[in-house]
Amino acid sequence: MAGWENSKQMENTSNISQFIESTLLKPETTFSQIETLCADSIKYNFHGICVNSMFIPFAKELLQGSKIKIVTVVGFPLGATMTVAKAKEAELAIQSGADEIDMVLAIGALKSGNTELVKNDIQSVVEASSGKPVKVIIETGLLIEREKILACELSLKGKAHFVKTCTGFSGGAANIDDILLMKKIVGNSIGIKASGGVKTFDQAHKLIEAGASRLGTSSGVDIILNKMGSNMGGY
């Protein structure tokens, strides 16, 4: 449909770097670390970087002339921010130079059965993002299966462009079963970002085969080097 389907799930994973959003969201992150993140992303040709919004202008300057996308987070990491604040946060992030938004689902509202609030929360961020891709972090580690299904359905209704597994701050991690479940619900209409504990090439490859169209990881360089080592060993 919208082209989110991987080309035969990337066949030999030769282009795995283009699935990676190299991520650095720790509260103690420094400008020097962002500089290294950007340099590595250019070196290994990652799809993008994912940083807190404070670093957007700095990253934009460092990535000038490259095709690397700047992804930032909204309502992070709890998802319990007021909808109007999430929307404004997204708007300001886009104005500052962000190319994509990763927003955290209103998890408590979902668990309370307030589906209208959840859908409107998503839709408000999408509308505030001026057509830029919006990913909804459903925080799989906090949800039971029927809640994961509902979160994906509401993300579709809210016109999000991706669903994403985890923030990495509330437990849980990207796993094959969750990706398969998410893929079953969203099909090829929107993308799926696997995030949380993605550390090796083999793991990344299996997540992509299961249906992930992006990988959020702080181990992007290690994954690429791991891939190179695997190829040398006849993987």
Catalytic residues: 102, 164, 193
* 10-to-135, 164, 167, 202 alpha-carbon distances in Å: 21, 19, 25, 14
Please choose, from the candidates 26, 22, 151, 24, the residue with its C-alpha nearest in 3D space to the C-alpha of residue 79. Answer: 151
Q: Which runs of E-coded beta strand occur in the chain?
A: 20-24, 48-51, 69-74, 100-104, 134-137, 162-164, 191-195, 214-217
Evaluate the CA torsion angle 180, 224, 1, 165 in order and state its sign: positive
Q: Are strands 20-24 and 191-195 parallel, antiparallel or unpaired?
A: unpaired
Chain centre distance of CA 91: 18
Beta-bridge partners for 215: 20, 194
Chain centre distance of CA 128: 18
